[in-house]
Amino acid sequence: MNTMRPKILVVDDTPANLVAMRRLLARSEAEIFEASNGNDALVLCLDHQFALVLLDVNMPEMDGFEVAQLISENDHLSETPIIFVTAAYSDDINRIKGYTAGAVDYIAKPINDVILQSKVKIFLELYKARALLQQALDELSQRNEQLTREVAERTRMEQLVRHQAMHDALTGLPNRVLFRERLESAIDTANTGGPSFALAYLDIDGFKGVNDGHGHAAGDELLKAIASRIDARTRGTDTVARLGGDEFAILLNDTSDGDAALARCKALCEVIAEPYVLNVADLRIPARIGASIGVTLFQQGDIYDRLVASADEAMYEAKRNGKNRSVLGV
């Protein structure tokens, strides 16, 4: 909490009045500042935050009305309370003029000590209350910002955890869990009149030789390269997943024609069969592999198990028939 003493500015062009006011305010527990003219008063107001300004009305060059007007028009000073100290208290015209200029109260000369102390006490208590309120608001704002950051970080962590739970750590592709979720969603959509699709299962021919012959690091680099090639040759609406090991699956959306599905899988076989150069440590390891792909079309009323079994069986038929080829399942 800010423990600084509140500040009071006394503005009067008569030195004797400043001395008298200083004496009267000695018990106020405030830090007293003094100015003998309007310009000095404005400079002090810009440099300090005052709980109260006691302003003499009758001053040469710039009178109290002008000073109050300039203070009230400044955005940073407009809430500073001003009490006019004047012998013209009974003049209603001047009193209205003072209120219009920004004064909140008047004290008549000669100054009554009890009245002065009472009014000063009220404004100092108001200043302290506003300071406490502002402190509470600042603390609340800081806490809200902290909570916002905490919520954002928690959301980010939850999204990260969900992503890690749903994606393959090596290739970044959807894993078996997320792929099943999307496949079941596609089945439900197609069974209720939505677009049809095809399901492809893909197994790498020759991966074991690379993995065993050059080590797991080479095998990992090969899997990442394969995943990148498959992902680049499929559409944004498709889903490519790594099911585990060297086995991948592809959800070919908006595909209802067997020949079109086979043509897309043949193109994948060709791109996967192109030579690789694997960068492992300081070595560049050449590799050649192939892919056996089984693809099956969605049929009205299909369920998850039938589609998967059909694509899986077609993939093994592709392996039995010589590998590096695509077979359409039934």
Residues annotated as catalytic are 246
As a whole number of angstroms, the distance between CA 289 and CA 205 comes to 6
Strands (E), the chain: 7-11, 31-35, 52-56, 82-86, 105-108, 197-205, 239-244, 247-253, 276-280, 283-287, 290-297, 326-328
Three-class DSSP category at 75 = coil
Q: Using CA atoms, how far apart are residues 29 and 124, in angstroms rounded to an integer? A: 9
CA distance 241 to 174: 5
CB within 8 Å of 54: residues ≥ 6 apart: 8, 9, 10, 11, 21, 83, 85, 107
d(CA 302, CA 190): 9
Find residue 199's DSSP bridge partners. 251, 296
Cα distance between residue 207 and residue 201, in whole Å: 16
- The CA R_g of the chain, rounded to the nearest whole Å, is 42
How many Å apart are CA 127 and CA 116, to the nearest integer? Answer: 16
